[in-house]
Amino acid sequence: MRGQCFITMTKFRNTVTKFSRESQLLEPVARFAKRKGFYLQSAELPFYEYRIDLYGFSHKRDATIAVELKLNDWRRALEQTMLYQLCADLVYIAMPERSAMRVDKAELESNGIGLIAVRDSGNCACVLLAKPHDEVRQVYRLSQINYLKGMAYV
């Protein structure tokens, strides 16, 4: 599957992605997360001086997910997502497919960060699975889950 994705990218190398703002990635990534069972979601969830672009909770899996949306700068996204590991079980970077193919996947993998490619069609593909990690602090995680649950009943 990874090879097919790469072939698609190189075949259409000169095409321009339809995404010009990070916010345009939110809807397709939120749909993708819901299909994975993360039904309780919030965009721009505050965490220290940052805002997590998408944070979700799966009651069935008792798991949380944090996703940082970026158009190009995966290194900046990596810095942010490493912080998000304090409050989420699984952490991803989501980027347009063209940008995602230029990411150093070995560096993401060594840090347990996953990668989601957003196609121009709006469909998403998981290029690299996030790994569960030991950095999660339950006090932060539970605080974020409670925030989501509180929003669900407003």
CA distance 30 to 140: 22
Q: Which residue has the higher pLDDT, 7 or 149?
A: 149
Report pLDDT digits (tens) over 63-114: 999 999 999 999 999 999 999 999 999 999 999 999 999 999 999 999 999 9
Answer yes or no: are the C-beta atoms of 30 and 42 closer than 8 Å: no
Q: Which of 50, 58, 98, 42 is nearest to 77 (CA)?
A: 50
This prediction has a pTM of 0.86
Report pLDDT digits (tens) over 110-139: 999 999 999 999 999 999 999 988 999 999
- Quote the number of domains for the chain: 1
Answer yes or no: are the C-beta atoms of 38 and 65 closer than 8 Å: yes
Domain that holds residue 40: 2-12+19-152
CA distance 14 to 7: 13
60: CATH: 3.40.1350
Burial class (CB in 10 A: 0-12, 13-18, 19+), 74: buried
68 bridge partner residues: 93
Count Cβ neighbours within 10 Å for each residue of 100-120 and write b for 16 or more, e otherwise.
bbebebeebeebbbbbbbbbe
Residues shown for the chain: 154
Write out the H or E segment, with its range, that includes residue 32. helix 23-35
Answer yes or no: are the C-beta atoms of 88 and 55 closer than 8 Å: yes
